[in-house]
A and B are shown apart, each in its own frame.
Chain A
Amino acid sequence: MHHHSSHVFRAEEQSGGGTAGYNHIGDGAIFLPPLLHPDLPLLRTSPNPISKSSSSLTAGNNFPPPLAGGNQHGVVVGMAAAPGMATATATDRFCLPRMAAAAAAASQLENWGDSGVVVSSTFTDDTSTDVDDTADKHHHHALMGGGGGGCRGELRGAIFSAVSKEKTGDQKTQRRLEQNREAARKSRMRKKAYIQQLESSRSKLANLEQELQRARQQGIFITTGGSGDHGQSIGGNGTLAFDMEYARWLDDHQRHINDLRVAMNAPIGDDDLRVLVDGVMAHYDHVFRLKGLATKIDVFHVLSGMWLSPAERFFMWLGGFRSSELLKVLASHLEPLTDQQLMGICNLQQSSQQAEDALSQGMEALQQTLADTLASAAAAAGGVDNVTNYMGHMAVAMAKLTTLENFLRQADLLRQQTLQQMHRILTTRQAARALLVISDYFSRLRALSSLWLARPRD
């Protein structure tokens, strides 16, 4: 099956060079502008079709015989004006332009101007897009070989004589122009394809976000891949409630941030801005309270980060964001800073890093001791001793697990205090900008998650 756009009949030299002679007729190439022949698949010539044998005349034989006599003109006009004729025979219709062009070529050149063939130079050849139509080529060869049946010899003669009139310079110019046009057309098509891709991605994204919104309201939390019910397996209502509360908090947060953004762009006094900033900070306190409650209900759920978007989860540290990373994100957006402020921020970044490291090491120790406890519970002697031994170890393990809640709590305190200290160091306007930057950063992480979820899979 030939693509309309990818097959071009060119009575024109291929971009790869090749024969200089055969394809040129008259002042330029014979082009069949695709606009006039929407139904005609346009064919590409091969460099030396004439050299092929004429044995496979069969394809050509099916063709209504327009070549004889003075019918060429009619044929050509037919091509231009009556695509219906071209579609006469499904399998052979691709022969038509070829035949017609050959016919036109074969016809004496005095018919040339009268023919309906438009010598148009707008035609381009997608040589790069249809490299593997060898079957096509064979047909071409066959046709050209058998083209016009008996007038093959005349055809060749006519064409060669036309060619001999051509100057090489003209050819080169023509070739360059055509290549330019071809390149332009290709790039237009690429651009169109890209835009279509973008549009479809956009609509997919919009649909997905709608779905998410709906699902949130129904209390279902959508997780990536796999089964969607891992989110609330343990803790039941508790974890689900937290997920919903967090989603609601996120919406409120976005509203606060939007108000702040609008205020930043408007000429607003510092006092009013401070009210907004304080509002955002207080709202942050609210989420830490929520997390505290959730930790008591199900520490593993908070620790798992299933209530976060996938990309946020990737960066999660001990049940939330990493304060030191956040400060790094802020670094370039806070200028200009006074020396004192700069030092304050640097110290804050450093101390949050140190605190995070300390807690991380504590967590590692916790993991290690828990593993040791469970391992020693496994290695046991027999008998009743075994059971009490087992129970004893389990009790110890349980006690250690309660420490986990403490670690999570300390991590959240760290996050909260880092934000508060940052607020203390910065001016109102700087703090407002900082909060916007932070919020935008997390929005981008969430957007990345959405894009990832919506990506086309093959």
Chain B
Amino acid sequence: MQYGAAAAEQAWTAYMPMPAMAAAAETAAERVERVASESAVVVFSVSSCCMCHAVKRLFCGLGVSPAVHELDLDPCGRDIERALSHLVGGGAAPVVPVVFIGGKLVGAMDRVMAAHINGSLVPLLKEAGALWL
């Protein structure tokens, strides 16, 4: 199903001449998982998204420099977005930003904010080694 003959897929390959077969080696979901575990804090974002900007500012304010993955600059961006929306259970709202800490999913903006307010975000960051204090 991942190799689906979706027009989108063709459009992507038109721009990025990567053989569709080769890119199919990894599903979008797996890709997400892989990327998420590469750094302590991973933010899936879209470069023009202001809410993503806000979450980035939040982490910078805490002294954390997250690994940002801009989906609009990623050839498989749309797939990833789809995979993320499955994970997050997104409704009509844009999926991004989606935050992973220590390889584990935290969620979209509201989850991140809630975690920060109820005091669970900072311990999570410390645990993942993103914060030292």
Contact = CB atoms under 8 A, between A and B. Distances in A.
Q: Bound pair: A and B? A: yes
Interface of A: 344, 347-348, 351-352, 354-355, 357-359, 361-363, 365-366, 369, 400, 403, 406-407, 409-410, 413-414, 417-418, 421, 424
Q: Bin chain B's interface residue count.
A: 20 to 34
10 contacts: A351-B122, A355-B117, A358-B58, A361-B53, A361-B57, A365-B54, A407-B51, A410-B51, A413-B114, A421-B118
B19 interface: no
Interface string B100-111: 000000000110
Q: Is the interface of B mostly helix, strand, loop or mixed?
A: helix
Contact of A369 (B50, B114, B122): B50
A354 B48 CA distance: 22
Q: Is the interface of A mostly helix, strand, loop or mixed?
A: helix
Interface string B47-69: 01111011101100110000000
B24 interface: no
Contacts of A358: 54-55, 57-58, 61
B58 A400 contact: no
Given A362-B51, A403-B49, A403-B50, A357 B117 contact: no
Given A354-B58, A362-B57, A410-B110, A348 B117 contact: yes
Given A410-B109, A418-B117, A421-B117, 15 more contacts: A347-B119, A351-B122, A354-B61, A354-B116, A355-B58, A358-B54, A358-B58, A361-B57, A363-B50, A365-B54, A366-B50, A369-B48, A403-B50, A406-B109, A414-B113
A348 B120 CA distance: 11
B93 interface: yes
A403 B58 CA distance: 18
Given A361-B54, A406-B51, A414 B117 contact: yes
B118 A417 contact: yes
A397 to B, nearest CB: 12
B93 A406 contact: yes
A407 B109 CA distance: 10
A403 B46 CA distance: 13
B57 A351 contact: no
Contacts of B116: 351, 354-355
Contact of B51 (A351, A355, A403, A424): A403
